[in-house]
Chain A
Amino acid sequence: MIETVVSLQPAFILHHRNFRESSLIAEILTRDFGRFTVIAKGVRTPKSKLGPFIRPFVPVLLSIAGKSELKTLTHIEPWQSAPKLHDLALYSGFYINELVTYFLHPFDPHPEVFLLYQNALSELSNTLELEPVLRVFELNLLTQVGYGLQFDVDNLQHPVSPGKKYCFNAESGPVESEQGDFAGSTFLALEARSFPDRTTLTEAKKIMRSAINFHLNGKPLKSREVISKILKHSHS
């Protein structure tokens, strides 16, 4: 691989873990170069100037260099003010980080996904209704990475009717069925990215969950499991 030098690139840290004595390995999402991994050397020391900025959900500008797949972080500075995520919004943030990590291939540029991600974080910080934000993010993310679904026509190309019942198949979309779990109106709501009531949201969650699980090929989403345990602890 040839030497890459990127300077002051808008980015978000998706996840990081400690490496050796004083370094970090971070998964980052950049605007123009997609998602990849960087090593930040010597940032876990009290004197490090870069260390404090390496945290998830903070929009940063970063510079990297390196010949191998694992790039080295050379500079990082704050870019815009960080969205304030608390409680459920924060846990949802971890969830979308995991989705982005799974669905973007390394070094595959997706400026639109960067924008979607940025918007989703700022919406999560500004609303109490988190579920619509998550559903819209999931839908748009799948569309951007090439797994887009059409919800306004069923598997036989008939338009989805709001009053009828449907099943959901992750490959072919809505399938009309008397015993279906989902109302046609839910699929139309997903298509329109707007959710009028709680029932629709609950159904939309189930539909998106099965679509995402299908594309993950059996890989479990760790954050989903942990978040459900957290909720059990904090609200039971």
Chain B
Amino acid sequence: MIRQGLLGQLISDLCALPGVGPKSAQRMAFYLLQRDRGGAIRLAETLLSASKKIAYCEQCRTLTEDKLCRLCADKSRDSSMVCVVESPADVWAVEQAATFKGVYFVLHGHLSPLDGIGPEEIGLNLLENRLAAGDVGEIILATNSTVEGEATAHLIAEMAKKYQVKATRIAHGVPMGGELEYIDSGTLSHAFNGRRQV
């Protein structure tokens, strides 16, 4: 069937979502229009205001509708500990682990020389200003364990050294409940290099 008119438009717009192809988009569209008009209107309004109002937090670059995000504005958190992550989704992941009580800095990517993504593109100027201001005591590098993630972590560690700020890298190794037999050799050698006394 050729998709025409408003309905066709709706279906192809829904395809913009990750993991949604034409078939699921069609189901969504029909569901919203036949069963839940109220939900559809709410969704449309929320989408509109979210995409207009949500921007980057001035301090940590995570997504927020306020000037400062909830985490940066929270006085009970230790603002001298900064955890550097690649994406806002990583902030949520670390928050769910509930062990970290500091603040974050979101890079929105990683260094990628072949794509022309350098320090400025991932907001390191802003991070450098924060380091220079002198209120950061420790910087925790929680970038992904990819070559680019490591390169990014390394550069930030160098910057931290310049301002005499302690930089630490999160540990990589055997996952919880993991059996050694099934772990890839790269992770295993990382785990051995990072072993510690018990």
Give A contacts to B, CB under 8 Å: 14-15, 17, 21, 52-53, 55-58, 78, 82, 86-87, 90-91, 94-95, 97-98, 101, 222-223, 225-227, 229-230, 232-236
Contacts and interface: CB of A to CB of B under 8 A. Distances in A.
Given A21-B19, A90-B147, A229-B120, A223 B184 contact: no
B29 interface: no
B167 to A, nearest CB: 12
Contacts of B119: 229-230, 232-233
B186 A78 contact: yes
A56 B18 contact: no
Given A52-B186, A225-B118, A98 B113 contact: yes
Interface string B143-164: 0001100110011001100100
Instruction: Assign chain B's interface to a size class.
Output: 20 to 34
Given A78-B185, A91-B113, A233 B159 contact: yes
B180 interface: no
Given A55-B147, A225-B116, A234-B162, 19 more contacts: A14-B114, A52-B187, A53-B184, A56-B147, A78-B186, A87-B158, A90-B150, A90-B151, A90-B154, A97-B114, A98-B113, A98-B114, A225-B118, A226-B113, A229-B119, A230-B118, A230-B119, A233-B159, A234-B159
Interface string B3-22: 00000000000000011000
Interface in B64-117: 111-117
Nearest to A235: B158
A16 to B, nearest CB: 9
A223 B114 contact: yes
Contacts of B120: 229
B124 interface: yes
A229 B147 contact: no
A156 to B, nearest CB: 40
A89 B154 CA distance: 12
B113 A233 contact: no
A15 B159 contact: no
19 contacts: A14-B114, A17-B115, A21-B19, A52-B187, A56-B147, A87-B154, A90-B151, A91-B113, A223-B113, A226-B112, A226-B116, A226-B118, A227-B113, A230-B111, A230-B155, A232-B119, A233-B119, A233-B158, A234-B162
B128 interface: yes
B116 A52 contact: no
Nearest to A20: B18
A91 B118 CA distance: 11
Nearest to A90: B151
A222 B118 CA distance: 9
Nearest to B187: A52
Contacts of B114: 14-15, 94, 97-98, 101, 222-223
B118 A52 contact: no
